[in-house]
């Protein structure tokens, strides 16, 4: 399976379990790896035979900016389901970064990574 990756998609969301996170929001960063067969697109040089990663990026940002959830695990699952709706995508790895998580000690990042595939 071939891979198309989008790294560092940034969007502001209001996800989290604490009232401050819900009220003020924070930046979330999403990395995606889409698994698909790119041979038909490459053979015909045809965008319609692959995944349009610009559209995927817009849809993922809309999920992050959309309805708040408590957990980034839930956010990652919603993002994965949006990606799998694209016909050629057979598998997706989603990594959600929460660099401004409410943690009381110094840290660089918090991430949740999931892999989902068509059943």
How far out from the chain centre does Cα 113 lie?
10
Helix (H) or strand (E) holding 4: strand 2-13
> Is 20 a known active-site residue?
no
| Distant-in-sequence, close-in-space partners of 19: CB < 8 Å, separation ≥ 6 | none
Give the total residue count for the chain: 119
Catalytic residue list = 98
């Amino acid at each position: 399976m071939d891979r198309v990756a989008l790294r560092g998609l940034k969007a502001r969301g209001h996800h989290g379990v604490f009232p401050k996170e819900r009220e003020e929001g924070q930046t979330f960063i999403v990395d995606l790896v889409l698994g698909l067969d790119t041979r038909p697109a490459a053979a015909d040089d045809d965008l319609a035979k692959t995944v349009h990663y610009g559209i995927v990026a817009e849809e993922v940002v809309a999920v992050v900016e959309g309805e708040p959830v408590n957990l980034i695990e839930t956010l990652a699952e919603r993002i994965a389901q949006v990606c799998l709706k694209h016909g050629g995508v057979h598998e997706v790895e989603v990594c959600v970064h929460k660099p401004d998580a409410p943690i009381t000690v110094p840290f660089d990042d918090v991430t949740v990574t999931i892999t989902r595939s068509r059943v």
